[in-house]
Amino acid sequence: MRIRGAVLRTMEPSRPYAESKPLDIVDIELDEPGPGEVLIRMTAAGLCHSDLSVVDGNRPRPLPMLLGHEGTGIVEQVGPNVDGLELGDHVVTVFLPRCGKCDHCRTNGKLPCIPGSTSNNAGYLPGFDIPETSSVPRTDEGVARLSRLHEVDADGQNSGELFHHLGVSVFADHAVVNQASVIKIGDDVPPEVAAPLGCAVLTGGGGVINAGKPQPGQDVLIVGLGGVGMAALMTALGLETGRVIGVDANPEKLNRARELGASEAYTPAEVEERGISAPIVIEAAGHPRAFETAFSATAPGGTTVTVGLPAPTAESTIHPVVLTSEARTVMGSYLGSAVPTRDIPTYARLWREGKLPVSELVSSTMPLKQINKALDTLAEGKAVRQIILFD
């Protein structure tokens, strides 16, 4: 079928993106779902720093690629060998599919799935459910369902190879994904709430619940108040532990944290000057200086959880003797150490109970055609979560 989506051709374009237009809205050919796959009509997609990191070259991916990894939609077609999903189901996309069989999948969310990560890195959908005897074309890394309609060879056949982004590619009006890349959610959850559950909330909330694990009365401090960090702050507030402290260099984000109920909010400089600390500290900025701030603000005996994704070449400096002398713990948490089938329903329940106001993450909504301008807003740190709404 023919769909319309946002394709990245080259990384590291010049800014402003509204002028250089790194994402090209084009016609794309999308194959029907194969074994274990479903076709989704997208209703909303969130614009995340993980998308920007592909555009600016910090997170290299095979190109050209149909971007987007945080989304929600409605199942319109079901392929063979699909269990638990039916036409009309409302679903949230998950950008790290789990096969449920590899050693990493047996770590209760701590480590990412091995074959799922392999297909993601290669720009394919996972081939979890395709029988060895199937005629479906596949490689060792997975399967492809995308090609560009507007590029044809001498015989008039479509010759444009197009890669998938993190197994979902949701910056388009439709997507074919593996059943492991979607979680069913109730139709009572609005699209602008459902979409962030698959990335911002899954990562930030999981950094608190699954990794930090604050005990009753313990303070939680969050460094970096973008979409993921603000979701972590909301989750900590919903747990009703001790103080919840927000840290960011942007005064507007600090004000927003206070409006949401943060006990205190500081700039990184104020944290250092005042000696602010907490037993559980979540780093959600993806920057080496933010990690250093988070580590310094962790109280003796406490835990520093880093969920941010800095550039691969980024380096931080800490004093390792502190780990021993103060019995500290530093841990990474990829995708919030999540088991999506377990965690997304939990966050949906918290939303229904009024304990997780996900809609407060949304800075603005827009059509797909405004995505390049939205990249500028994201790069300038002026947005928490921008949501693309599809007709």
CATH number at residue 219: 3.40.50.720
**3-class secondary-structure state, position 13:** coil
- Report CA Rg, the chain: 21
Question: Residues 81, 219: one domain?
Answer: no
Question: Residues 193, 211: one domain?
Answer: no
Domain annotation covers residue 343: no
Question: Residues 84, 218: one domain?
Answer: no
User: What per-residue confidence (pLDDT) applies to 174?
Assistant: 98
User: What per-residue confidence (pLDDT) applies to 148?
Assistant: 79
Q: How many domains does the chain have?
A: 2
- Residue 323 burial (CB count, 10 A): 14
Domain annotation covers residue 163: yes
Range 267-292 burial, b when 16+ CB lie within 10 A, else e = ebeebeeeebbbbbbbbbbbbbebbb
- Residues 272, 248 contacting (CB under 8 angstroms): no
Question: Residues 185, 326: one domain?
Answer: no
Question: Residues 186, 38: one domain?
Answer: yes
- Residue 62 burial (CB count, 10 A): 14
Q: What is the CATH number of the domain that holds 57?
A: 3.90.180.10
Question: Residues 72, 10: one domain?
Answer: yes
Tokens at 285, concatenated: 């900025």
Of the candidates 219, 187, 213, 162, the one whose C-alpha atom is nearest the C-alpha of residue 337 is 213
Q: Distance from first CA to last CA of the chain, Å, rounded?
A: 17
Domain annotation covers residue 39: yes
Question: Residues 151, 259: one domain?
Answer: no
Across the 391 residues of the chain, what is the mean pLDDT of every consecutive 10-residue run? 95 96 95 95 96 94 96 97 96 94 95 95 89 63 84 54 95 97 97 97 97 96 96 95 96 96 97 98 96 98 96 91 96 95 95 95 97 96 94 80
- Residues 178, 309 contacting (CB under 8 angstroms): no
Whole-number Å distance between alpha carbons of 358 and 290: 24
Question: Residues 214, 276: one domain?
Answer: yes
Question: Residues 182, 245: one domain?
Answer: no
User: What per-residue confidence (pLDDT) applies to 220?
Assistant: 98
Domain annotation covers residue 47: yes
Q: 269 is in which domain, residue-wise? A: 202-337
Question: Residues 36, 167: one domain?
Answer: yes
Question: Residues 164, 214: one domain?
Answer: no
Question: Residues 16, 119: one domain?
Answer: yes
User: What per-residue confidence (pLDDT) applies to 147?
Assistant: 87
**3-class secondary-structure state, position 125:** strand
User: What per-residue confidence (pLDDT) applies to 317?
Assistant: 94
Whole-number Å distance between alpha carbons of 225 and 236: 13
User: What per-residue confidence (pLDDT) applies to 130?
Assistant: 72
Domain annotation covers residue 342: no
* Amino acid (one-letter) located at 8: L
User: What per-residue confidence (pLDDT) applies to 141?
Assistant: 85
- Residues 300, 328 contacting (CB under 8 angstroms): yes
Beta-sheet strands, E only, within the chain: 2-8, 23-30, 37-47, 65-66, 70-78, 90-93, 146-152, 158-161, 163-164, 174-178, 182-185, 220-223, 244-247, 264-266, 278-283, 298-306, 329-332, 362-366, 385-389
Domain annotation covers residue 136: yes
